[in-house]
Amino acid sequence: MPACAYLDHNATSPIRPSVLDAMVEALSEGGNPSSVHRVGRRARARVDAARRQVAALVGALPAEIAFTSGGTEANNMALRGAGRNRVLVSAIEHESILRAVPEAEVIPVDGRGLVDLAALERLLAKPEPALVSVMFANNETGVIQPVAEVVRLARAAGAMVHCDAVQGAGKARVDLRDLGVDYLSLSAHKLGGPTGVGALAVRAGAAFVSDRNGGGQESNRRAGTENVAGIVGFGAAAEAARDGLDAAILRDRLEVALLAIAPGAKVHGAAAPRLVNTTCISMPGVKAETQVMALDLAGVCVSAGAACSSGKVTRSAVLSAMGVNPAEAEAAIRISCGWNTASEDIDRLIAAWKALYIRVTHSELSQARAA
C-alpha cells in the first residue's frame, strides 16, 4: 500500500507526471514571452499553446483566456472588472468571492445545496443592473448549480453572470458557451496542474476593466510577465483532463459502504446533481477534526471542509446555508477523489472509517454501562 491514500483532491490534486515533464522543459529553456528574439518567441509559443489547451477544456476561444495566479485572483478580477456596483452572490460561494465583495447581496440555497432561483428572481427585480456570481459546483459538497437557469434569469433582468468553475473543470463538462456566462474562473492545481496559476475566461464582448497597471500582457487584462512554466503546466493538465474524471463508481461504492457502517451517517447534497468525485459525509457523534486526525494516523488524507478554512474551529458556512443542523455540520468531512485515485484507496478509507466508528461507539457504550 502507498504511504497515504490521498483523498483530498478538491484541496489540491497531485501534479500529473505529464504536467511535470512539460514544466521542466519550459523551465529549462526559460525566456520572456514579450521578448522578440528566438527564445522569447519560443516562450510565447508555449504560452499560446497552453492558452489553446485551457480554452478547449471549457469551450472558450483562446483569446478569451487570461492567465492569472490562481482561482482567487480570477474571481477577484471578474467581480471588480465587470464594472457593476451591485453584486449578487450565492450563500455557498468560495471565500474569495464572499470576501471580495462583502457588501454583496446573498442568494440563499435550499436544503439540497442548490441556489434558490425564486429568491434570485426576486433580487433581480430591483432596477439597478447587477453582476450575479454563482459557482459551477461547490467545493465542499460537490453539488452542481443550475448555472444555465441562473443565466436565463439574469439575462432577462439585464444582469451579467460570473461562474467560479474552479472545482468543476476537469470533473464535469464545463462549457462557456453552453452555460452562457460572461466570466469563468479556473485553477490549475485542482486538476493535476501546478499551484499558483489559474485563468479567467472573459466572453468576447463582455465588459472588463483591469485594475492592474503595467505592461500589456494578457491582452491588457492582467499586467505582469507571464508565469511561463506554470501556464505550460496548466495547459498540459487541461489537456489531460479533457475527458473528465470517471470516479462515480468509486464514490458510489464508498458512500454505500460508509452508510452501511454507520446507519446514522448522512451524505450532504445527495439529493442534488453532484461532481462524481466528491462526498461530504457526517459520522454521527464524531467531530470532523477527530475524524481527520484519526484517518491521517491510518494513512488516509481527507479534509474537514474547504482547505482555505482548515484549522479554523468554525462550522461550515456551506452546510449552515443548507440548513444542516449544527451537530451534523460539525461532524462532516469531505472526501474527494482525483486522477490517481485507486480502488485500494477507497478500501483503505472504508476500513479506517469503520475502525474509528466502532472504537467511538464501543467507548460510548462502555461509558453508558459504567454510568
pLDDT of residue 214: 86
User: Model confidence over 88-120: pLDDT tens digits?
Assistant: 999 999 999 999 999 999 999 999 999 999 999
* Reported confidence tier of residue 210, pLDDT bands at 50, 70, 90: confident
Which residues does the annotation mark as catalytic? 308
Domains of the chain with bracketed CATH: 5-13+245-370 (3.90.1150.10), 17-240 (3.40.640.10)
Question: 176-180, 315-319, 320-324: lowest mean pLDDT where?
Answer: 315-319
SS3 for the chain is CCCCEECECCCCCCCCHHHHHHHHHHHHHCCCCCCCCHHHHHHHHHHHHHHHHHHHHCCCCHHHEEEECCHHHHHHHHHHHCCCCEEEEECCCCHHHHCCCCCCEEECECCCCCECHHHHHHHHCCCCCEEEECCCECCCCCEECCHHHHHHHHHHCCCEEEEECCCCECCECCCHHHHCCCEEEEEHHHCCCCCCCEEEEECCCCCCCCCCCCCCHHHHCCCCCCCHHHHHHHHHHHHHCCCCCCCHHHHHHHHHHHHHHCCCCEECCCCCCECCCEEEEECCCCCHHHHHHHHHHCCEECECCCHHHCCCCCCCHHHHHCCCCHHHHHCEEEEECCCCCCHHHHHHHHHHHHHHHHHHHHHHHHHHHHC
CA angle 65–216–181, rounded 5-degree value: 25
d(CA 347, CA 299): 12
Instruction: Compute how many other C-beta atoms are within 10 angstroms of the C-beta atom of residue 118.
Output: 10
Instruction: Compute how many other C-beta atoms are within 10 angstroms of the C-beta atom of residue 317.
Output: 18
pLDDT of residue 297: 97
pLDDT of residue 366: 60
d(CA 283, CA 305): 14
Parallel, antiparallel or unpaired: strands 198-202 and 130-133 = unpaired
Grid cell for residue 95: 471565500
d(CA 350, CA 171): 23
* Reported confidence tier of residue 315, pLDDT bands at 50, 70, 90: confident
Within its chain, how far is the Cα of 69 from the centroid? Answer: 15
Taking residues 186-199, what's their average pLDDT? 98
Residues in the chain: 371
Nearest Cα to Cα of residue 13 among 171, 226, 140: 171
Task: Evaluate if pTM is beyond 0.85.
Answer: yes
Percent of the chain with pLDDT over 70: 93
Taking residues 67-79, what's their average pLDDT? 97
Mean pLDDT of the chain, nearest integer = 93
* Reported confidence tier of residue 242, pLDDT bands at 50, 70, 90: confident
User: Model confidence over 144-175: pLDDT tens digits?
Assistant: 999 999 999 999 999 999 999 999 999 999 99
pLDDT of residue 1: 45
d(CA 191, CA 172): 11
Sign of the CA dihedral running 101, 102, 105, 108: positive
User: Model confidence over 260-301: pLDDT tens digits?
Assistant: 999 999 999 999 999 999 999 999 999 999 999 999 999 999
**Phi then psi for 159, rounded to 5 degrees?**
-95, 155
Taking residues 217-224, what's their average pLDDT? 86
Taking residues 323-330, what's their average pLDDT? 96
Question: 247 with 202: CB under 8 angstroms?
Answer: no
Longest pairwise C-alpha distance within the chain: 81
pLDDT of residue 219: 84
**pLDDT at residue 2 is higher than 90:** no
pLDDT of residue 313: 45
